[in-house]
Amino acid sequence: MPLWASTARGGPLLPSITIYSTGPACQPCKAVYRWLDKHGFKGAYSIVISPDNPELAAELKAQGFLQSPVVEIDGLRFGGFDTKELLRILGVEPNFIP
């Protein structure tokens, strides 16, 4: 069972999800948003536009992220729209749709 699926109180414990995007024209970013929405995480993520924050953009580049989006889930970062990483980190079954 994924960590976010239940807590000691019986309610959902959603992961911290941040998507670092280059802006509204980023198609891979939109694909990540749609995937998260479809898999039960609608409204559970925040979007940061990295060009609006030069320090953040420099930090991501220094860490080797040269494509958008950069997805951060509970402190783990990966680049691009990578469904295998989303499934692995979130612990979602491939056919799970709430």
Q: Is 3 a residue whose pLDDT tops 50? A: no
Q: How confident is the model at residue 37 (pLDDT cuts 50, 70, 90)?
A: very high
| Closest to 88 measured CA to CA, from 31, 47, 39, 30 | 39
Q: Is 93 a residue whose pLDDT tops 90? A: no
Angle between helices 27-36 and 83-90 (to 10 degrees): 30
Six-digit token pair at 35? 């995937």
Q: Is 79 a residue whose pLDDT tops 60? A: yes
Q: Is the pTM of this model over 0.85?
A: no
Contact between 15 and 4 (Cβ < 8 Å): yes
What was the pLDDT predicted at 62? 97
* All structural domains of the chain with their residue ranges: 15-68+81-90
Q: How confident is the model at residue 69 (pLDDT cuts 50, 70, 90)?
A: very high
Average pLDDT over residues 49-66: 92
Alpha helices in 11-93 (DSSP H): 27-36, 54-62, 83-90
Q: Is 21 a residue whose pLDDT tops 50? A: yes
